[in-house]
Structure 1
């Protein structure tokens, strides 16, 4: 790590090439990586074959248990923390583009430094904690020639990332078997791939809700309905993946769940503050609320019946139905 270089990159944030833009994304990448230990990526042959087998087995088990037809992404990467930061700078840049293009501020230079520092904090913290990620490439424009788009057309696809140093460190800190823990993470991320693979409309649905909300924010308003719809949809996404992974995982996992939940709640004051600022507590509540909904559906009608949620956007549960699965079943699967 080089904290001096990180601070210097933030302080010299200059926006895009012409000096415009509310975030200097090149500076974010430099600063976040300077503030974060990349971690080791010296994979053994067992590591390489293990990741491949975990993903392959998760695909087959999730297909069988969930009754879903999907493929895993073509892009599957075992990364260190710096690789993850680079990949997500591109994602955040796409997501923030609507805001940056419309946002007017009184003090652009100071705002750019503050925003660059904020995004550096976000990516540094997450880069040190994320274990795996399924990236549906929301808000991708499909332009492989764009400076912040995919490097080539083959990368304009959903992607699956595993942050190897974080997985190894977490397994060690939790005192759990590393191969079993790695496999459990793979099942969770492939469960997300199953959702988006089974619902070709899902990426566009989430994107439209996000764009509507961000566009209103740039005009000084707040589209409560758009953000409410996004929250409900993400609760379904997280909850279904949680339920499906639990039903499909081919080993005991209660100890993994308990220890990981304890780790998420723990940490020092700074870590707890960071999780609160980043809304990670909200994501945990989405997991829990959504998982309880789908467990109830699966218990009453079977796991395959729960997949009806991905047939069309109208089948997503409402907020009221998330707390009353019987009403959703009555509407969708009478």
Structure 2
């Protein structure tokens, strides 16, 4: 655990680092140098190793999908180990702290309390309760990744694999399951709430805190444990207000992942170039050995991208806007009441910078590489918006996604704020009404266009009609 508090990183041990070096692609069963040097034989050897002791998982119904989630859950639980049940005193402390945080947040935002059920979780509870949402995020990426990798194999390899397609699909599903299990097991021991990283992974209607993880993450901070608990509760409560009262927000986050996955592409041109000089028919053994030695020093990991890269940009901006808004309202709610709020904000920023962030979770669990969301800049934008037009209009911006700031607005907020100041009547600002008016105007224009088209068609059918 990082001595700065709130700190964690993924894969700190040497085994994890070796594993990451050999598999830069979280979802790549053809990753690293194995594909180039060992080819199909190495893949089958890897498959045999994975089969050892995994008979139950192979026969699981989930083994037939893009990810073997049964295997993922088993591996995650092995990493978590034995955890103690939540004490009644911890549950009561979480309930009281979150209730207090909700009262204070009422002074900082127009969005009402979520009214969610408040629970205290251990790591096992977090895994069991968040796995359904992780499935929805991971499955489209894994499915498209598998499809893209198979399509990029050389024709000879595809022909060789034809009779073994079912076995290869099972191998891919298991490998994805292993990667996911390791990532979720790591997160389960270090996450602090049900919406940590700004991701709504807890079940709808639940606000959750992990008091044991919080106690461990607080080591090294000279802050009272109760203050830490109220702070994390306030962040959880603020996010849940957004997720509850901004109905499009959760779907927008998930659909951005699905859109990215739908456009996944794998560039293997560098692999084909490296393999191009191989003489597949009766190769010279000495030359073959030389080339294999050369391949060992090359990066033959598939280069992964997406035709829908703009979906990732939208996801980055949305995550920054969520966490920036949470930073602002939590600071306003607690700053005058708890003197250590500034210190806790700094600790949270360090945590975000050293691994406790959405981009780390997405990279490790979902397999999407995000740029670091500009949370500090987003918080400053929300602060300036509030100074310009007040809390009510600041929070009304969440009413529709088309009114949210863009990435350019986050970087340079002046023009966005000017557009808000340009409204004739700040008190009557109603983004939904504006959207409805726009949609009505577009419908009227479409109707006029249809009427004109009908008139033109009549003239064409009756050429003798007087003009």
Please list, as runs of the form range in 1=range in 2, the aligned pairs for 1:199-218 lying within 5 A after superposition: 199-217=246-264
Once the two structures are TM-superposed, the CA of residue 209 in structure 1 deviates from its matched residue by 2.6
| 1:234 aligns to 2:277 (yes or no) | no
SS at match of 2:207: strand
Alignment correspondent of 1:21: 65
Once the two structures are TM-superposed, the CA of residue 134 in structure 1 deviates from its matched residue by 2.6
Please list, as runs of the form range in 1=range in 2, the aligned pairs for 1:94-173 lying within 5 A after superposition: 94-100=136-142, 103-104=146-147, 106=150, 107-134=168-195, 157-173=204-220
Q: Report if the CA contact (8 A) 2:71-2:174 is conserved.
A: no
Alignment correspondent of 1:196: 243
Q: What stretches of structure 1 of length at least 5 have no aligned partner? A: 1-5, 140-154, 268-273
| Cα shift readout 1:87-137 (whole Å, capped 9, x = no counterpart) | 222211122233455543543233223212211221122111111123899
Which residue of the other structure, out of 93, 96, 104, is the alignment partner of 2:135? 93
Once the two structures are TM-superposed, the CA of residue 194 in structure 1 deviates from its matched residue by 1.6
Q: Give the whole-Å Cα distance in 2 for the aligned partners of 1:281 and 1:260.
A: 22
Alignment correspondent of 1:65: 108
Once the two structures are TM-superposed, the CA of residue 217 in structure 1 deviates from its matched residue by 2.1
Once the two structures are TM-superposed, the CA of residue 262 in structure 1 deviates from its matched residue by 4.0
Q: Against the structure 1 CA distance between its residues 246 and 28, is the aligned structure 2 distance closer, same or farther, given a 3 Å change threshold?
A: same
Once the two structures are TM-superposed, the CA of residue 283 in structure 1 deviates from its matched residue by 7.7
SS at match of 2:194: strand
Q: Report if the CA contact (8 A) 1:137-1:158 is conserved.
A: no
Q: Give the whole-Å Cα distance in 1 for the aligned partners of 2:62 and 2:352.
A: 41
Q: Give the whole-Å Cα distance in 2 for the aligned partners of 1:126 and 1:156.
A: 17
- Return 113-122 or 282-291, whichever deviates more: 282-291
| 1:247 aligns to 2:291 (yes or no) | no
Q: Report if the CA contact (8 A) 1:134-1:159 is conserved.
A: no
Q: Report if the CA contact (8 A) 2:69-2:177 is conserved.
A: yes
Q: Report if the CA contact (8 A) 1:14-1:109 is conserved.
A: yes
Please list, as runs of the form range in 1=range in 2, the aligned pairs for 1:71-86 lying within 5 A after superposition: 71-74=114-117, 76-86=118-128
| 1:324 aligns to 2:412 (yes or no) | yes
Q: Give the whole-Å Cα distance in 2 for the aligned partners of 1:18 and 1:24.
A: 5
| Cα shift readout 1:208-266 (whole Å, capped 9, x = no counterpart) | 33322222227984302222222212211111111111111231212222334445556
Q: Give the whole-Å Cα distance in 2 for the aligned partners of 1:266 and 1:95.
A: 23
RMSD (CA atoms): 3.5
- Return 230-239 or 324-333, whichever deviates more: 324-333
SS at match of 1:172: coil
Larger RCO, structure (CA 8 Å, separation 6 or more):
2
| Cα shift readout 1:31-90 (whole Å, capped 9, x = no counterpart) | 111112454344253x3332112222222322332122342323x321111111122222
Q: Report if the CA contact (8 A) 2:122-2:212 is conserved.
A: yes
| 1:40 aligns to 2:128 (yes or no) | no
Alignment correspondent of 1:303: 391
In the alignment of these two chains, the number of paired residues is: 307
Once the two structures are TM-superposed, the CA of residue 299 in structure 1 deviates from its matched residue by 3.6
Q: Give the whole-Å Cα distance in 1 for the aligned partners of 2:369 and 2:258.
A: 23
Of structures 1 and 2, the larger Rg is shown by 2
Q: Give the whole-Å Cα distance in 2 for the aligned partners of 1:209 and 1:237.
A: 15
| Cα shift readout 1:147-166 (whole Å, capped 9, x = no counterpart) | xxxxxxxx962432211210
SS at match of 1:65: coil
SS at match of 1:314: helix
Instruction: Give the TM-score normalised by structure 2.
Output: 0.58
Alignment correspondent of 1:183: 230
Q: Report if the CA contact (8 A) 2:195-2:239 is conserved.
A: yes
Alignment correspondent of 1:294: 382
Q: Report if the CA contact (8 A) 2:114-2:245 is conserved.
A: no
